[in-house]
Amino acid sequence: MRKVELTPEEREHYARMFGNHLENGALLLVNITGTSKTNMSYRLKVLMAYESEAGGVDVMYLTYWLASELGKNLTDDDELRLNGLGFDRVHDIAYTVAEILKRYGFSFSLNNLPRFARVF
């Protein structure tokens, strides 16, 4: 496990950058990289794809920031390990990101989640 260390200022900087992109139509990408044998925990990576200023597509890695916001460590493979069962994990991550961004003044809600998709 690898400890995630971001200052409150760094967390806010990334939250504002990610939130602005998501408000402008960026796509939150969730990659479930594995589940436990009991299906009670899972590992994932979270990215965001958005249109670049040059007209192409850029991708940002959100897993480190999300781990910091949740007070979690990363695995040796830079994955976030979470517990849970009985819900759509990808939807839950989109909801979790939206709830975190609300603390930074963004207007996401259960009825106004960022666009998201599961990637394999």
| Rounded Cα distance, 118 and 120, in Å | 7
Q: Where are the domains of the chain?
A: 8-118
Q: How confident is the model at residue 105 (pLDDT cuts 50, 70, 90)?
A: very high
Q: Which long-range contacts (CB under 8 A, 24 or more apart) does 36-39 make?
A: 39/85
Question: What's the confidence (pLDDT) of residue 88?
Answer: 76
Q: pLDDT by residue (tens digit) across 31-68?
A: 989 888 888 888 999 999 999 889 899 999 999 999 99
The pTM (predicted TM-score) of the whole model is 0.88
Please tell me the predicted confidence (pLDDT) of residue 116.
87
Which has the closest alpha carbon to 90: 32, 8, 6, 26? 32
Instruction: Give the pLDDT confidence score for residue 39 in this predicted structure.
Output: 81
